[in-house]
Structure 1
Amino acid sequence: MSGLLAAAVACEPARLSDLGTLVQVLWQFLSLSLFSLGGGNTLLAEYHHLAVAQFCWLTNTQFADLYALAEAAPGPSSMLVGLLGLGAGWREGPFWALLCAYGAEAAILLPSTLLMVMACLSWKRLEHSPWRVAFERGLGPITLGILFAVGLKILRTADTNWAGVVVSVLVCVLMLRTRISPLWFMAVAGVLGGLGVINR
């Protein structure tokens, strides 16, 4: 019981001014921008740590809901960052929430985009370099390992009952063993959630 009270006290949302929240959001996502190897989802564990554990912008359930929304919507997976910024600034009102959302999205995309543009401009010149081949081969396992860790983080965040765990494991097995479109899995999970079979 005392552990739960300590966790609740430790996760009290930071009381910042409107500008303080915006600066905090911008700094956190600017500092993460260059580490998104393999796409925005590779930083999901760090997003969760920042938004839920460190700054208490969102609850665990809200984070899982925003992740599901970002993945279901068309567009890049980095749109989750805008939603996290929205959650961070919400206590200061809708204006600051929108400002934090757009600021977070720009902060996560701008540095990494500029770096990729510069890399692409010089990548062709290194086409036959052994350094380029070694770099590309080395990043593959790193990215797969990060994505595996992200998958485990999502399972721990979203699945809080046995039915959710069973559905998640079944979907993983079917995705690896069959050629069924992921849209069917999303549709079935949506129906099960709507019927209350799986919930949080």
Structure 2
Amino acid sequence: MSWLLAHTGASLCQPVQLSDWRNLLAVIWDFLRLSLFSLGGGNTLLSEYHHIAVDQYCWLSSRQFADLYALAEAAPGPSSMLVGLLGMGAAVQEGPLWGLLSGLGAEVAILLPSTLVMVAAALSWNRLRNSPWRIAVERGLGPITLGILFAVGLKILRISDHDTPAYAVSLVVCVLMLRTKISPLWFMAVAGLLGGLGLVNR
């Protein structure tokens, strides 16, 4: 029954057209609000990005989202550049100008508030170097951020791995990352080769 409801809901989901200024502003507002919760970097918001792009606005499928995430991670730069790609992908069907405007708006929305907060915190944080509050906050945020990143890793597994070989590759990479000092670039290269040869399908 849940399978039927999920597929019925997916068929009724219509992509939001960002050629309407009100829709574009609503999307930018969503990313502005999320910006203040990006503890530990942009990847900590990945589940919410997926919810917005796939479930709420129906811009992308889970597979397309996983592809954009892989592209954002492989490219040099901050992981939050995924938001710009999501915004661009959401509106590019309306034309290249709308795609560029949407991507730029989403990227600025996700970066600007958190950047301003971090600048303000950095300027005042030094004054609290002997305060017990500073020590408590620093010790408390560490486990929270690690927990969020662990949840993000599970989310990536769920949206990108859909067969036994893919799960096996993910497990092997996870173990090797934790036990060795091999560069992640080698893992990306091998996984890309396996996918290119058709040995791993998503």
Q: Which residue of 2 aligns with 1:50?
A: 52
Alignment of 1:22-101 (within 5 A): 22-101=24-103
Alignment of 1:42-191 (within 5 A): 42-191=44-193
Structure-1 separation of matches of 2:27 and 2:18: 11
By how many angstroms is 1:148 displaced? Answer: 0.1
Count of matched residue pairs: 200
Secondary structure of 1:125's counterpart equals helix
Stretches of structure 1 that go unaligned for 5 or more consecutive residues are none
Taking structure 2 as the reference length, the TM-score comes to 0.95
Change (3 A) 1:16 1:108: closer
Structure-2 separation of matches of 1:190 and 1:14: 32
Q: Which residue of 2 aligns with 1:193?
A: 195
Change (3 A) 1:4 1:142: closer
Q: Show CA shifts across 1:109-162 (max 9, x none).
A: 000101111111110100000000000000000000000000000000000111
Conservation of the 8 A alpha-carbon contact between 1:22 and 1:99: no
> Could you tell me which amino acid in structure 2 is paired with residue 141 of structure 1?
P
Taking structure 1 as the reference length, the TM-score comes to 0.96
| Sequence identity (%) | 70
Change (3 A) 1:16 1:96: closer
1:9 paired residue among 11, 16, 24: 11
Stretches of structure 2 that go unaligned for 5 or more consecutive residues are none
